[in-house]
Amino acid sequence: MCGRFTITHPNEALAALFDAVPGNDLPAGPNFNVCPTNPVVVVTSEGGVRRLRAMRWGFIPSWYKAPNDGPLIINARSDTVATKPAFKAAVRERRCIVPASGFYEWSEGEKGARLPWYFTRADGLPMALAGVWQRWGDMDTVAIVSTEAGPGMAEIHHREPVVLERAAWPLWLGEAGHGAAVLMRASEAGVLTTPYRVGVAVNSNRASGPALIEPVAA
């Protein structure tokens, strides 16, 4: 799954990378501890135009009467996203990309301790995480698609976010026809850096600052 990530690349750089028109309400960065319910930057394609938009991280199904009317949904599983009532319309009609500079995952240490690890792209570019979105009231909300862990992740956690390569962006965004289901797979070996341990300060959703991604002894 993906429960925390970072976005340290400026919005202007993201707009250029994704060839997207930026909105005027984008969350300011950098953010070294993006948490569920935070506003995040999302890439959509609407009417042939890519847009950089702000959304709430935490997908709210259409039948919720309030944002907290059910579980907080931050991830959508690749194996059930097309069949679960919450997501099946969104994965057909409202796919998007969630840019991230890196993400955290946790392994279990002694006595159940949560040990955080940090992942980035090996080429230093922002990650393009596959997402699905839903409008609820006057708010747009998003979930990140996760899949079975691949090389480099499986030893830390059994799931990982779907990281889309540049060539896959048009298909995922609905610009290149049908068949996006084939993209919901783990990253190939070498795409992500070898993860490194970071300090447990990031275990708190109140923690912030660049020190969160500094390596510590494993």
Q: Please state, rounded to an integer, the average pLDDT across all residues of the chain.
A: 94
Asked if 35 is an active-site residue, the reply is no
> What is the set of domains in the chain, with CATH numbers?
4-213 (3.90.1680.10)
Vertex 88: Cα angle to 82 and 94 (nearest 5):
110
Q: What is the pLDDT of residues 78-104, one digit of tens each?
A: 999 999 999 999 999 999 999 999 999
pLDDT value of residue 194: 85
Contact between 74 and 143 (Cβ < 8 Å): yes
Per the listing, tokens 């783990």 go with 186
3-state DSSP call for residue 155?
coil
Taking 70 as the threshold, does the pLDDT of residue 1 lie above it? no
Q: Indicate which residue of 35, 96, 105, 160 is catalytic.
A: 105
Q: pLDDT tens across 98-133, in order?
A: 999 999 999 988 887 899 999 999 999 999 999 999
- What DSSP string describes 19-83? T-EEPS-PPPS-EEEE-TTSEEEEEEEETTEEEEEEEEESB--TT-SSTTSS--B-EEETTTTTT
The more confidently predicted of residues 204 and 111 is: 204
- In terms of C-beta density within 10 A (0-12 exposed, 13-18 middle, 19 or more buried), how is residue 22 classed? middle
Selected catalytic residue, list 2, 35, 96, 160: 2
Residue 29 in this model has a pLDDT that exceeds 90: no
- Model confidence at 150, pLDDT cuts 50, 70, 90, reads confident
Give the whole-angstrom CA distance, residue 19 versus residue 12.
Answer: 10
pTM greater than 0.85: yes
Q: Distance between CA 122 and CA 190 in Å, rounded? A: 7
Say whether 2 is catalytic. Answer: yes
- CA gap 48, 92 in Å, rounded: 16
Q: Is the pLDDT of residue 62 over 70?
A: yes
